[in-house]
Structure 1
Amino acid sequence: MTTAAEPTAPTRRAQLKFVLILGGLSAFGPLSIDMYLPALPQMAGDLHAADTTVQLTLSAFIVGLALGQLVLGPLSDALGRRGPLLVGLVLYVLGSVLCAVSPDAWLLVAARGIQSLGAAAGIVIARAAVRDLFSGTAMTKFFSTLMLVSGLAPILAPLIGGQLLNWTSWRGVFVVLTGFGALLLAVVAFFLPEPLPASRRSPARLGRVMKTYGRLVVDRTFAGYALASGLLFASMFAYISGSSFALQGVYGLSPQAYSVVFGANGVGIVLAGQLNGRLVGRIPERTLLRAGLLLGAFGGVSVLVSAWAHLPLAALLVSLFLLVSSIGLVMPNASSLALAEHARSAGAASALLGVLQFVVGGVATPLVGLGGPGTAVPMAATIAGFALLALVAFLTLTRPPVRPVTPDLPS
């Protein structure tokens, strides 16, 4: 018998549709961030702004993603997923247009904030919709499958961005993002059914929402999984925000070569995610999560050693590949384990997962530039530090499932 906490799994055809649509929504963050990374140095010159000012466009986007998820997650628990999602997609298209026509860096920062509020709807509602549709191992497997679609974003986005710069300016990148947002708006409007039935919705009263958030924050196990994924995500954000300047400025890569390197690291996310999907059900999710966090910590420390000791570029690139690949193991398992016990507040729980990822990522972003443009060590130290903290959060806060003890029977 099916309960609200145990939804009936969709058919295989419906699953394919959900993979494509929810994967596209999950890709909002990587596409909106990674596609314009190769253009950051060009933007600084074109807008007559300092590198740190241009990097604020990334910080503003991350903060907007966090705040948007806090509001839209509980709102979608109350109103259903489709309505808030459609409003968010309209905001994304509007913000993207404003980014394309912004005349100076500070207006671009504000436009990125508007764009990020719309992107937040796609990210938080896609993750909550997975919990609406699946449970248990099936949910983890679906999250792993999503990595195949959303993982293509960090592969294709910098490649597309780098190639766009061959025949247009950075403004053309935001025109392409406008088109992507408009396409998803049409797809959701016509092809995405409501995944959350009215019987499983929760009232959107402020007191109830705050109580739900409070319950989630003090849930030690939920907090452990959320922090583990959020801190490792921050490590990757340090790489995202600093690698453009480090690899091009310090190691001399062209924008096109940098795009290829960045895309190759995205391949690692896809491969790790698909490996995770095959192993789930045979190996416990906690074990796979632990393995991913260990891989991330090892990769992060290796990045720091490579930068500090001035090892060849190949050593740094291999270390970055290991770090980024660990995301494909960590995110599906951490998301599934964190959401498993929160079916009726999946939107709020999904929002907190996203907030931790992007707020901590926003903190990590400015740290990578503290040493100036001539060194990659601050970026490497930030990467290593957050990757190690992610492993510590998992080991100290999460608890393995409690198994009932069978008393010894007298012989």
Structure 2
Amino acid sequence: MTRTETSAAAPPQWLFLTILAGLGMIGPFSTDTIFPAFAQLGAEWGASDFALQQIITVYLLAFAAMSLFHGPLSDALGRKPVIIVGTIVYTLAAAGCALAPNLTVLLLFRALQGLAAGGGQIVSRAIVRDAFADTQAQRTMAQIAMIFGLAPAAAPIVGGWLLTVGDWRGTFWFLVGLGVVLLVLVLLWLPETHPAQNRTDFNPRTLLHNLLEVWRVPDGRRLAFTGMFHFGGNFLYISAAPLLIVNLLGKGEQDFWILFVPLITGMISGSWVSGRLAGRVNGRRLASVGYVISVCAAVVSLVFSLVPATRGLPWTVVAIPVQAFGIAVAYPIVTLAMLDLYPDRRGAASSVQAFVATVSNAVIAGLLVPLLARSLPTLAAGSLAFILVAWALWSYHLRRSGREPGTTPDAPAYEPTDEL
């Protein structure tokens, strides 16, 4: 498939990016929309905070397990078929959650949701590198991150609104609608960016081999763990939102915007800056500056949480957008650095990256949040620890690797059009 052949059928670039961002938003909407309903679920089923937190953990563990296969399957079968099947199963699982008669059944369907969600979320990252080369890939990843960044802020707010017109089941019917919309967009307008001649063999041994080849490369493992700790600093706050907003700050189910609006403002701003500076500022330097900004902001949050005069609103959230800004500046560069190590196995690389990060997120949501969200200082200290480790790993990677992140010699097989 040549660039000329695919461009004839290419959608406008704004639509292409919107579809990819929408696929990436499945994860945040699947985890965050249900947060405001935790109190209602606990009252209806008599579930503890720890039991309710498993609604997130089960989803993330299932996502992590299947994430190892979505990418390699897309390397072998093409990107679009994997996304279509995953979106269909995800939508049916969301309907199952909405109809669940008890917590056990809900957890089973949440696991099924997690198994399917990566079909779009993981494979969409590989599509970016299929379609764009070098600086444009960083710009595109940043543009997608800007749209994607709206999801964690919008999801709990939408969840709160849904509770004003119905019960917690409406949250999952909303996810059903989201799945249907994405399925239609993918079927009608998402092109196949991984041509047949570039695909790997479709057999279990080859799929496993590709995953192991990704994991065997020291730079790949290091970047996977960098991304894991990188997002962990933000995800600790995100997954702790029900405890932070309700228990620690004494607010209600309509007040999740207090955390998520500042957080996502920082993420979107950082993504915009990363995209604007792509090709103008050395990627290594830009990501390193992003980490310095995040660490400084996390230190400020910790100090505010320790001082009695600043322990509470608005000080609790003042530095969070700055922390998120720095993380978002580095995100496209770290992600592309991982994908660029494996130009022939981008799907597998994306799967390994997603697997490591999602297992970490499951541990954060299921184990660390109940432990750290007992006070503002412990929560701030935990977030700072994650970002410090990510910065250390990235700095070590730069010393060990002489290659500029975000550069690769191969040309894209597909290029979207710019027309509206």
- TM norm structure 1: 0.91
Could you say which residue in structure 1 is the equivalent of 2:363?
363
Residue 324 of structure 1 is matched in structure 2 by 324
Cα distance in structure 2, aligned partners of 1:96 and 1:363: 23
- Corresponding residue for 2:410? none
Asked if the contact 2:122/2:354 (under 8 Å) is kept, the reply is yes
User: Matches of 1:93 and 1:138 in 2, distance apart?
Assistant: 32
Corresponding residue number in structure 2 for 1:95: 93
Q: 1:49 to 1:16 in 2, by over 3 A?
A: same
Q: Determine which of 46, 55, 58 is the counterpart of 2:56.
A: 58
Q: Which has the higher contact order (CA 8 A, sep 6+)?
A: 2
Offset at residue 88 of structure 1 (A): 0.3
Summarize deviations over 1:50-106 as a string: whole Å, max 9, x none: 101100111111112212211111011000011111110011111111111222222
Change (3 A) 1:302 1:103: farther
Which residue does the alignment assign to 1:338? 338
- Distance in 1 (CA, whole Å) between partners of 2:8 and 2:103 is 46
Name the residue aligned to 1:386: 386
The change in CA–CA distance for 1:194 and 1:180 in structure 2 (over 3 A counts) is: same
**Is contact 1:247–1:253 with CA below 8 Å preserved after alignment?**
yes
Query: Do 1:269 and 1:324's aligned partners in 2 also have CA atoms closer than 8 Å?
Result: yes
Q: Which letter does structure 2 place at the counterpart of 1:145?
A: Q
The verdict on how the C-alpha distance between 1:22 and 1:389 changes in structure 2, with shifts beyond 3 A counting, is: same
Q: Distance in 1 between matches of 2:386 and 2:271?
A: 21
Deviation at 1:204, TM superposition (A): 2.8
> For residues 368 and 301 of structure 1, do their structure 2 counterparts lie closer, same or farther at Cα, with a shift above 3 Å needed?
farther
| AA partner of residue 396 (structure 1) | Y
Q: CA deviation at 1:307?
A: 2.8
Between the aligned partners of 1:400 and 1:292, the Cα distance in structure 2 is 19
- CA–CA separation in structure 2 for the residues paired with 1:330 and 1:196: 27
Distance in 2, matches of 1:402 and 1:120, equals 29
Match of 1:408 in 2: none
Q: Given residue 288 of structure 1, which amino acid in structure 2 is its aligned partner?
A: L
Alpha-carbon spacing, 1:218–1:294, altered in 2? closer, same or farther (3 Å)? farther
Give 1:210 deviation, angstroms. Answer: 2.7
C-alpha distance in 1, partners of 2:7/2:190? 16
**Percent of residue pairs identical:** 29
1:272 match: 270
- In structure 1, distance between residues paired with 2:9 and 2:205: 38
Q: Is the 8 A contact 1:43 1:170 kept in 2?
A: yes
Q: Is this contact kept in 2: 1:368–1:378, CA < 8 A? A: no
For residues 12-411 of structure 1, the aligned pairs below 5 Å read 14-310=12-308, 311-312=310-311, 313-365=313-365, 366-370=367-371, 375-398=375-398, 399-401=400-402
Contiguous gaps of at least 5 residues in structure 2: 405-420
Give the C-alpha shift of residue 11 in structure 1.
10
The residue type paired with residue 85 of structure 1 is I
> In the alignment, what sits opposite 1:409?
none
One-letter amino acid matched to 2:394:
F
**TM-score, normalised relative to structure 2:** 0.89
283-292 vs 194-203, greater mean Cα deviation: 283-292
CA distance in 2, matches of 1:171, 1:263: 24
Give the paired residue count. Answer: 399
CA RMSD of aligned residues (A): 2.3
Q: CA deviation at 1:8?
A: 9.1
Q: Match for 1:384: what amino acid?
A: L
Counterpart Cα distance in 1 of 2:52 and 2:178? 23
Instruction: Quote the Cα distance in structure 1 between the aligned partners of 2:8 and 2:277.
Output: 21
1:261, CA displacement in angstroms? 3.2
Indicate the larger mover: 54-63 or 296-305. Answer: 296-305
